[in-house]
Structures are given as structure tokens and as C-alpha cells.
């Protein structure tokens, strides 16, 4: 069923791309007008595919899974449906706050992971659980331990030079993502996510709106203009604490600094309550703004830990995305811990939700890695 549909996707995508190109004499404005050809193609093709489909993603999918770690070309999703997720989520938390030796090892390991995904034709999304660079507490905010680091690392702050060094490590890694054909693998970089909550040190209670926007704009500008990174798309993704476009954009740095707008939402999707209509309405706010601003939209994080609802995929997730016809480039569920028996968000062989997930996989709306063909080609 899925194989048959792939050819239809390719034909439909070609038609849609032609129409979109005719409607817009210039490509939609990217943050980086010097973005690589592959990065521009990824943006344009995701925009086209989102008109009728959504790519499925899973965090840390190929690094580890339920009961395993570090196996080559393995993911729990592939073990269930014979395809990796279309979007693989990774994290650059290991690029700072460790010994130089550990940082070097983390950088190389993640370089190989991203290149493997790129060579297969899949997409990588990067989150950043950034350990507090000026105090203890890790990436979470811990009372009496954490310092409000944003004001320290923005221009004029006493740790600004340290932050530039950290960005230098990220830039060097970005430049190292060179595939066998010589092209640089594009990635979706999604820093400072869930900033509207208070659990991270960059969250709303720990910095002003002006400080957060200044941090975002400096980060993008320094990577792009000073360090020459041209294979990043930049994703803006609050949690779900908004009910209008105005609130969604409260800390928005501006269209010239963002390529993708998204939302992380576990609360409405079963963690705190089942309120699928509210989740769908919030996704519509995100999607409508993206369409108006010429940006990508995505359901950047979601999931239901342990998936106790065995029909969650088709009776919760699909309706949330389709109820109001949101145009979403991708949806990403969180990781499957290799050691915890309960911390997982995607099915593995034998899990009770596998039959429903296979229905989700075979649905014409969803795309997995095996469905993608030439997403980095113009």
C-alpha cells in the first residue's frame, strides 16, 4: 500500500511545486540568502509536501531505542514498519559543558549520524538542551542553583565571549557535514525551544522578551554572518501556552530570523488531558502564520509516554493535525530510552499500538523516509 502511494506522492509533489513556483516569482524568503542549494531545496520541498502530507519524525531514532543502543542502521520505527522516520531528531547538548575529549567525541558521533540520514535521503532536526553556561543546574532551571544565563551571554554580557566559543564549536560541526558528493547536509536547527515555560534557564520567567529576542538574533547572525554557516534552517518552537497568534508571537524575533515556526505539545495530547480540538486549533494558528509569512510550520514535539492508548496514532495524532487542515512539514514524537522500560514514545516490535501505528504509517497523509525521493534536489 505504502509503496504504491510513493509514486503518487512524487507526481503530486512535482505538480504542486510547479504551481507554487508560478505563484511566487522569488523563493520564499529564507533567513540566509546564501543558503546552500540543498538547504533551499529542502525548504521549498517541505513547503510543497506540507500542502497534502506531513513527514513523521522521532527523536534519537537511529542512535538508540527500546532496549538497544548504537546499532547500525536501526530504529524502532524501522523495526515496526520497515522504514526509518522521515525526520530524525538529534541534540547538540554534548557540544559544551564537557571535557574537550568528550566534546570531540560527541561532535564526531553526531556528524556521522546526520550524514547517514542525509545520504539515505532523510531529514535531521536539531534541538539543544544547552547546559547553563554560567552556573550549575544543567539545562533545567533549578532554584538556588541556576543563574538567568541569557543576560550573561548576549552582547554586553560577561559570558558573551564564552558563548561565541560554543557557537564556534557548532559552526565547525556544521562545516564538517560534508557528504560523499561534496555537498553539506542541511539541518533544521531548533534552539531555545519551549521558551514560554519556566523549566529551562532560557524560559520566560528567567529573561525578558528583549533579552530572548536579542539572544536569538545574535545566535543566527553570528552563525550565518561571522562563522559562515549556510546549511541551517532556523526553527522557532514554543510550548503550547498560547491561544492566539498574538500570544504565539510574543517572543518572536521577526520573519527575517526564522525559517520554521512550530509548537511542542504533550499536554493536550494525553499527558495532562485529552483535548485534541485545542491542540488542532493551536496547530492551525501556527500553520496560518507560516502561510502568511512564507515560512514552514511543524508539530515540533509531541507524544504520549508509553503509548497506553493503543489507538493514539489514528484517533489522537492524525485528527490533531488534520482537523483544521494545518499545513505541517513534519511531526516529531519524543525518544525511546534505551534503559527505561516505560520512557518511550514510538512503538517497537510487540508493543500493543503497533497495529494502529501501521495504519498511521499507511495513511496517505504521512510520509516516512522510504517515501522521500530527492528532497534535497531543486
pLDDT band at 2 (very low <50, low <70, confident <90, very high): low
Question: Which residue ranges form the domains of the chain, and what is each CATH number?
Answer: 2-371 (3.20.20.80)
pLDDT at position 51 is: 98
Handedness of CA 37, 40, 42, 46 (dihedral sign): negative
pLDDT in tens, 238-282: 999 999 999 999 999 999 999 999 999 999 999 999 999 999 999
- SS3 state at 209: helix
Instruction: Match 558528493 to its residue by C-alpha cell.
Output: 181
Q: Is 181 exposed, middle or buried (0-12, 13-18, 19+ CB in 10 A)?
A: exposed
CA distance 110 to 123: 14
CA distance 34 to 11: 29
Bridge partners for 232 per DSSP: 187
Has residue 95 got a pLDDT over 70?
A: yes
C-alpha closest to that of 371 among 3, 13, 79, 11: 3
Bridge partners for 59 per DSSP: 89
Has residue 18 got a pLDDT over 50?
A: no
C-alpha closest to that of 220 among 183, 250, 260: 260
Please check whether residue 230 is in contact with residue 36, taking contact to mean a CB–CB distance below 8 angstroms: yes
pLDDT at position 302 is: 99
pLDDT in tens, 99-110: 999 999 999 999
Interval 353-374 mean pLDDT = 98
pLDDT band at 29 (very low <50, low <70, confident <90, very high): confident
Instruction: Match 540520514 to its residue by C-alpha cell.
Output: 117
Write down the mean pLDDT value for the chain. Answer: 93
Kindly state the DSSP code that residue 373 receives in the 8-state scheme: -
pLDDT at position 23 is: 28
The count of other CB atoms within 10 Å of the CB of residue 218 is: 20
Question: What string of H, E and C letters represents the secondary structure of 166-185?
Answer: HHHHHHHHHHCCECCCCCEC
Give the percent of the chain with pLDDT over 70: 93
Amino acid at each position: 500500500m505504502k509503496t504504491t502511494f510513493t509514486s503518487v506522492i512524487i507526481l503530486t509533489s512535482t505538480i504542486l511545486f510547479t504551481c507554487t513556483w508560478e505563484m511566487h516569482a522569488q523563493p520564499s524568503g529564507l533567513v540566509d540568502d546564501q543558503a546552500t542549494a540543498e538547504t533551499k531545496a529542502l525548504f521549498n520541498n517541505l513547503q510543497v509536501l506540507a500542502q497534502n502530507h506531513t513527514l513523521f519524525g522521532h527523536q534519537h531514532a537511529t542512535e538508540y531505542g527500546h532496549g538497544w543502543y548504537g546499532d547500525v542502521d536501526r530504529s524502532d520505527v524501522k523495526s515496526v514498519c520497515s522504514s526509518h522516520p522521515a525526520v530524525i531528531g538529534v541534540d547538540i547538548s554534548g557540544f559544551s559543558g564537557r571535557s574537550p575529549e568528550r566534546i570531540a567525541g560527541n561532535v564526531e558521533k553526531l556528524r556521522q549520524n546526520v550524514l547517514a540520514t542525509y545520504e539515505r535521503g532523510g531529514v535531521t532536526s536539531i534541538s539543544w538542551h544547552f547546559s547553563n553556561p554560567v552556573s550549575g543546574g544543567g539545562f533545567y532551571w533549578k532554584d538556588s542553583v541556576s543563574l538567568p544565563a541569557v543576560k550573561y551571554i548576549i552582547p554586553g554580557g560577561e559570558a558573551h565571549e564564552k558563548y561565541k566559543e560554543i557557537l564556534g564549536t557548532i559552526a565547525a560541526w556544521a562545516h564538517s557535514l560534508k557528504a560523499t558528493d561534496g555537498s553539506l547536509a542541511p539541518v533544521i536547527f531548533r534552539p531555545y525551544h519551549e521558551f514560554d515555560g519556566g523549566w529551562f534557564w532560557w524560559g520566560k520567567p528567567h529573561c525578558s522578551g528583549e533579552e530572548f529576542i536579542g539572544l536569538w538574533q545574535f545566535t543566527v547572525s553570528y552563525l550565518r554572518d561571522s562563522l559562515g554557516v549556510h546549511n541551517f534552517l532556523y526553527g522557532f518552537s514554543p510550548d503550547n501556552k498560547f491561544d492566539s497568534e498574538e500570544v504565539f508571537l510574543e517572543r518572536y524575533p521577526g520573519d527575517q530570523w526564522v525559517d520554521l515556526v512550530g509548537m511542542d505539545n504533550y499536554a493536550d495530547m494525553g499527558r495532562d488531558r485529552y483535548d485534541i480540538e485545542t491542540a488542532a486549533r493551536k496547530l492551525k494558528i501556527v500553520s496560518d502564520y507560516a502561510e502568511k509569512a512564507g515560512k514552514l510550520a511543524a508539530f515540533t514535539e509531541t507524544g504520549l509516554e508509553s503509548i497506553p492508548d493503543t489507538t493514539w496514532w489514528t484517533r489522537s495524532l492524525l485528527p490533531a493535525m488534520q482537523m483544521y487542515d494545518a499545513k505541517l512539514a513534519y511531526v516529531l514524537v519524543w525518544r525511546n530510552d534505551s534503559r527505561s522500560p516505560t520512557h518511550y514514545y514510538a512503538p517497537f516490535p510487540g508493543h500493543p499500538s503497533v497495529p494502529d501505528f501501521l495504519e498511521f504509517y499507511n495513511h496517505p497523509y504521512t510520509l516516512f523516509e522510504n517515501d522521500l525521493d530527492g528532497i534535497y534536489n531543486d
